[in-house]
Chains A and B, each alone.
Chain A
Amino acid sequence: MSCAWADARELAENGYLGDLPVVLSVTRLEQSLADTPGAVTIIDRDMIRRSGARQVAELLRFVPGFAVSGWNGANPIANYHMRLDEYGARLQVFVDGRSVYSSLYLGDTHRGLSAVNLEDIERIEVLRGSNSAAYGANAYLGVINIVTRNSADTRGTLVSVNAGESGINDQTIRHGWGNEDATFRLSASHRADRGFKEQRAFPAYYSNVNDDTRLQQLNFRGDMRLSPDDDLQVGAGMVRQRTGEGTGSFGNAPFTSTGESVYALAHWSRQLSATELIKLSATFDDEELSSLKYEDGTAVGLPMMVPVDQGGRSQRSQLEFSHTARPFDSLRTVWGLTWRRESAQSQALFDVSRHHSQIQQRVFGNLEWRMAPQWLLNVGGLMERNSVVGTNGAPRVMLNWQPTSEHTFRIGATKATRTPSLFELYGNNPIRHPQTGSVLDWGIKASGSANPERIYSQEVGWLGDFRTLGLSVDVRVFKEHIRGLLTPRRNEPADAFGTKSYFNAISSAADGFEYQLQWRPYQGTRLWFSQARVRITPDQRQLDQSIQTPHNSYSAAWFQDLPGDWEMSLMYWHVSTMSWRGESARLPAYGVTNARLARRFRLGGVRSELALTVQSIGGDHLEFIPSSPMQTGDPSRGNPIVPLVQRRAFATLRMEF
């Protein structure tokens, strides 16, 4: 009794006099935007909620230089500075440090990107510009780093529902629990909509495109403190995605594609001392895709529908070790080793029943040297040995000069690479007669000549951070040289089917500038503007005009708190003439407006929000291919069908307790 009393009395000034453990050691701290070797756009939780977005791709419209579309409503895609890539294969997308590209086809990131529950996201960091030196191959044009919320911050229960036009029907339920040393979260969600509507040219009518989405996912995250110096983060999940494909026009029969994937990850970090941290990570991904498509056999002289199984299975495992140290106040070092194995098995894509695989081994490092209080030099690099294509390096150097706390100037150069996917290396997809097995048609027959794509990029940037005005400005002026972009070209000598293989055929250059402005003039007002102007210069020797990036694109957003716990959002973006599929499919310029009105309220102990979101207020519009049948490519294909993004409204109810 007397002892407890003495303890209580000692505690009184212990707060002032006692020592505390070092919690935020220098090696655990993140680089500020002013110290980052490159341009970064951060989309935070508040913006995600206020945007009314239902998936990540929609949010990337706010990022300068990004174009967002989808060949149909079930396959949203986002790409940076380059359009000849419907799969986002040249972006590195991480979710909690796990790379989410598909090993099955071209390295698609679009499925991985759409299989993240927005409610779980803390923030999305978009590193604009090549960054293989820090993030490995695939960080060819940029990096999208999605950080989910720490489970310590999501204790309690959340229920969220979207319902509205175009079959929008989403539900999320999440529960978080734990104590001071370990917290966990389980979230289950379902997302569904009917995608775009279609416009047929002859006869002109509208109906639904076969592009419904049904996505179910279950995600688990745990954060544990094993000791004052040891932290463990674990995660696991499964996604089931059913998407409609095929427009129903000749040679493009409607079918349903089903993807099932599971993942697991663990990141363990140990603080060795106040200035030294080691981290060990393991991730595992397994994806199974099944889609049975019926090709019209008359195209190859067969009076029947020919079933083509486009499915397959891929697996990827990765182990990584990294060591971060701060040997001196002015120097921070990171180095590490990565081992990754990926394999893919698909009768349709490789024409063999066995799997193909490749192993990547990497060593990477970065030195962050503060030469003087105003000068910061980042020198980094990565060497990657690939079991198929050999060894490649990706160096990067960036100098940041911060003459005052309000201004940072950056100048730097980097080389990045993209390793060919297993399909680009081994792809072989003959369409065979269902009974005899004889080849009817043959698209890709890889010659094995695919080499890594390279990009050389130089940039100058300015970050203006005017805290007292609530204004921040980020400008990036860039020059990018793409060398050896992989593209299908006829095999030589030509065979009977005119098969193609992936060759490092295209080179081009891009230059331009982009900027973003964020302004909070008052508490409760948030303005956002971003713009990119990009000029592509194709290599004259190849006369390849297919890279059609929009010359000018911009987005604007106004998020406003209103009296009485109301909130309003107005968003607009504009994309100038561009083409996702070659010169002949030139898409006219378009602008889209979205709006959202919400009210936050309390129902007893339940924090609630009711919102109405209207997308594409101005009406239906085109986002992928043009409406004129003469411009959709091959008029002989008959009845061109054009997917239209339609105006749609939906309501959201969100409750947290």
Chain B
Amino acid sequence: MTTFHRLAVLLLMSLMLVTSARATVWIAVSEDSVDYSAVAEEVRAGLMRGEVQSEVSIRPWTEVVQGVPSQVKLLVTVGSPAFSGLAEASAEGRLGRTPLLATLLPRSVFEAQRRKLTGPVTAIVLDQPAVRQMALLRYAFPHLRRVGILLGPESRTRQTTLERAAAEQGLQANVYKVDGEAELYPALRRALEENDLLLAVPDAAVYNGGTIQNVLLASYRQRIPVIGFSPAYVRAGAMLALYSTLPQIGSQTARAARNLLADNPVLPLQNPAEFAVSANVNVARSLGFRLSEDALRLQLQNREGM
């Protein structure tokens, strides 16, 4: 080994010492898409601002499942493919007990896979809390009471939570179970006949690119407002949507990551803390409603003491 080589090894070792003083965080993204990268970058930026200096590396999840070095103090998964992939790897013992923070995924995906993880795990899910959704309905449509909800296999578990939240807000939630595509339209027809509002709850078996057109058109014909869960719903023709933006999810994830690194207590499952309200003013006006996005958001924020 030449002197040069010795020096190089020394340098490398001292570098590793420095870096291990800083926490290393790997962010496993689901794929190379704008949405996933935006959240990953937001998390990186948030961590950089934190008290605990961290080394952040954004990698495709397929690379992360190959193995994680011991100096990685926290794994963050962005999106459900990354989370599911890492859960599989963890079950196979490839991740050790590295703490994992899952973000930008539906609650149903998280709950279905969380047991596979061998290490401590925290999640920030995309689902808005049921009480917040029901409160929004009460503020936006104070004169309407009956809320129709179609639940498929993925979202079936939410029935009790939704019913309880509705009752808490003085609303009546009527749940219609949809097991297959053949059941969707009869269930939708009943839901539109028996309710004043239709609350869309994420479930790929009920709401997907193939069904959304018919759901929105049928609801509009019956003059029933549809409340969606993303801005795309409002653009498509839903009257209202409650959701969290990518930067909002990103900064909440960064906060949770900082707390985890600082060993502060963190709730194992977090609902989105910050949120946005979008309204389709034209659809609302056409059905005789006047809605203000800002007023509704402020009402919800006040309610939650924000």
Contacts and interface: CB of A to CB of B under 8 A. Distances in A.
Interface of A: 6, 8-26, 29-35, 122, 150, 152-153, 155-156, 180, 225, 228, 405, 465, 467-470, 523
B66 interface: no
Give the interface size bracket for B toward A: 35 or more
Given A16-B106, A18-B232, A523-B145, A24 B283 contact: yes
Given A15-B202, A29-B282, A155 B185 contact: yes
B290 A31 contact: no
B189 interface: yes
A13 B105 contact: yes
B184 to A, nearest CB: 9
Nearest to B212: A20
B109 A24 contact: no
Given A15-B230, A23-B237, A153-B218, A32 B288 contact: yes
A23 B216 contact: yes
Contacts of B283: 24, 29
Contacts of B105: 12-13
A155 B188 CA distance: 12
Nearest to A225: B213
Given A19-B232, A32-B286, A34-B288, A152 B212 contact: no
B233 A20 contact: yes
Given A14-B204, A16-B229, A20-B212, 11 more contacts: A12-B106, A13-B109, A15-B229, A16-B106, A17-B230, A18-B230, A19-B235, A21-B236, A152-B185, A180-B214, A470-B143
User: Which 6 A-B pairs give the minimum distances between C-beta atoms?
Assistant: A24-B237, A29-B286, A20-B236, A405-B290, A23-B237, A15-B202
Contact of A468 (B30, B143, B204, B214): B143
A21 B145 contact: no
Interface in B100-127: 104-106, 108-109, 126
Nearest to A150: B221
A143 B222 CA distance: 22
B210 interface: yes
Contacts of A9: 80-81, 84, 109
A278 B250 CA distance: 43
Nearest to A223: B217
B208 A11 contact: yes
A15 B108 CA distance: 13
Contacts of A155: 185-186, 189
Interface string B26-68: 0000100001000000000000000000000000000000000
A175 B276 CA distance: 44
B155 to A, nearest CB: 10
A16 B285 contact: no
A6 B235 contact: no
B236 A24 contact: yes
B79 interface: yes
Nearest to B185: A155
Contacts of B126: 13, 16
A469 B79 CA distance: 45
Nearest to B236: A20
Contacts of A405: 290
Contacts of A469: 143
Contact of A152 (B30, B79, B218, B243): B218
Given A9-B81, A10-B81, A228-B213, A16 B220 contact: no
B195 to A, nearest CB: 11
Contacts of A523: 145-146
16 contacts: A11-B208, A12-B106, A13-B105, A19-B232, A21-B213, A22-B235, A23-B236, A24-B216, A24-B217, A24-B237, A24-B280, A32-B287, A32-B288, A152-B185, A465-B288, A467-B143
A15 B286 contact: no
Contacts of B280: 24
Contact of A16 (B143, B145, B212, B230): B230
B235 A467 contact: no
B275 interface: no
Contacts of B305: none
A6 B81 CA distance: 7
Contacts of B265: none
A469 B237 CA distance: 27
